[in-house]
Amino acid sequence: MSELVQSLTKVRQSISPYLYLFILLGGISVWALTQGAYQISWFSVLQTTGYSLDQDIIMDVRLPRLLMAMLVGTTLAVSGALMQALFRNPLADPGLLGIAAGASVAVGLLIVFGERWQFLQQVEWLKPYTSSFAAFIGATITCSVIFRLSKNQGKVSVLHLLLAGIAINAIAGSATGLLTYISSDEQLRALTFWAMGNLGGARWEHVFTLASLLSPMLIFLVIKSQQLNLLLLGEEEARYLGLDVERFKGQIVLVVALLVGVAVAFSGLIGFIGLMVPHLVRMMFGSDNRLVVPCSAILGAALLTSADTVARILVIPAELPVGLVTSLLGGPFFLWLLMRNIKGGQ
């Protein structure tokens, strides 16, 4: 009998975090669908039949944007959790590798010089996706460069990886600054808006494309999350316990880079999600990566959906860049975290 009680307790403890987070995500999702320049009632959101203006706005405008925010938030949060576990550093973040910076350079080149590239103007089907395609190409090239620079005698060196990311971020920052300097007023606005993150204009084809690209990689990372706990013991101990550390690190870095590249391609640069969410999950549910990674996915979706909704309603009828809202949330969060650590003598 006692064994049965213990088993039920373990099941309850493992289900509870997911249940709480899914309830939170569901509530935020319904709230997000009701908010905007055109207010929609809760009843219209929950209504599944019939045709009306409310239903058209929900299905054609707000629901694709909601799903896009969930996918991007999930991606950034999971990537942050993986990077923090890999580097064993709570300040590690997907932007640390320079992948997002490489994507921003590619988009900057497209914005400033794209009108001169005649072949882009001739391919009609590519026009709506040019920024996303450029960002993905930039992220992929950056990923390849960083991965090659991080190899030390055939092994992936975390130190070399970190240094390569710092160097790429510096170079990309200089390139972006130069593009900003030579751009016209219209191009400068486009550069600034993209650099601050934007989920507006999301369409169903974007959602399906993003979901098909991200889902296999996210599932792979959730499956691998159990092995991340071995890295908490140190690389030598993990190797002793049977983990092929170099191969595992290479897999994680490659998949995280591809994830960030795809997400940034569709959303622009959105900061602090990958930093904040894993911290919050560990504070609430502990540091077991088997729980941290999937819970980060759900909470990341909820947090970015909330931030995007606030960005839409704060200055109606205009919209703020969602990256500005996440930065406003992230800055005070880490000031609080710093004060908490100082008081704790850490």
Give the H/E segment covering residue 44: helix 42-46
Answer positive or negative: Cα dihedral of 150, 255, 307, 84.
negative
Measure the CA–CA gap between 69 and 200, rounded to whole angstroms: 10
Looking at residue 15, what is its pLDDT? 66
For residue 186, the enclosing domain spans: 17-345
Considering the entire predicted model, what is its pTM?
A: 0.84
- Contact predicate 73/163, CB 8 Å: no
Measure the CA–CA gap between 318 and 85, rounded to whole angstroms: 39
CA angle 41, 45, 47 (to 5 degrees): 110
Please name every residue paired with 152 in a beta bridge, in sequence order, or none if there are none.
Answer: 155
Measure the CA–CA gap between 6 and 253, rounded to whole angstroms: 38
Residue 3 lies in a domain: no
By residue count, the chain amounts to: 346
If you ran DSSP here, which 8-state letter would residue 37 be given?
Answer: S
Residue 163 lies in a domain: yes
Structure tokens at 206: 């974007």
Residue 12 lies in a domain: no
Measure the CA–CA gap between 268 and 200, rounded to whole angstroms: 11
Measure the CA–CA gap between 86 and 245, rounded to whole angstroms: 10
Neighbours of 69 (CB within 10 A): 29
Neighbours of 209 (CB within 10 A): 16
pLDDT tens digits for the chain (346 residues)?
A: 455 445 545 545 556 888 889 999 999 999 999 888 888 877 777 765 556 777 778 888 889 999 999 999 999 999 888 888 877 777 777 777 788 888 888 888 888 887 766 665 555 555 656 777 788 788 878 877 877 787 776 666 777 877 888 888 899 889 988 988 888 888 888 888 778 888 887 888 889 988 988 888 888 877 877 788 887 777 778 888 788 887 887 788 778 878 888 888 788 889 889 888 998 998 888 888 888 889 999 999 999 999 999 999 988 888 888 988 998 888 887 787 777 767 665 5
Residue 7 lies in a domain: no
Looking at residue 35, what is its pLDDT? 87
The total number of structural domains that make up the chain: 1
Looking at residue 10, what is its pLDDT? 55
Structure tokens at 32: 């997000």
Structure tokens at 161: 């990886």
Residue 143 lies in a domain: yes
Find the DSSP H helices in 241-288. Answer: 245-267, 273-285
Looking at residue 300, what is its pLDDT? 95
Residue among 178, 196, 201 nearest 113 (CA): 178
Chain position carrying tokens 């170079």: 171
In single-letter form, the type of residue at position 153 comes to Q
Measure the CA–CA gap between 203 and 207, rounded to whole angstroms: 6
Cβ contacts of 237 within 8 Å, gap of 6 or more: 230
- Contact predicate 255/112, CB 8 Å: no
- Contact predicate 138/104, CB 8 Å: yes
Chain position carrying tokens 């759900």: 298
Residue 28 lies in a domain: yes
What is the domain-level CATH number for residue 59? Answer: 1.10.3470.10
Looking at residue 330, what is its pLDDT? 82
- Contact predicate 253/86, CB 8 Å: yes
Residue 304 lies in a domain: yes
Residue 9 lies in a domain: no
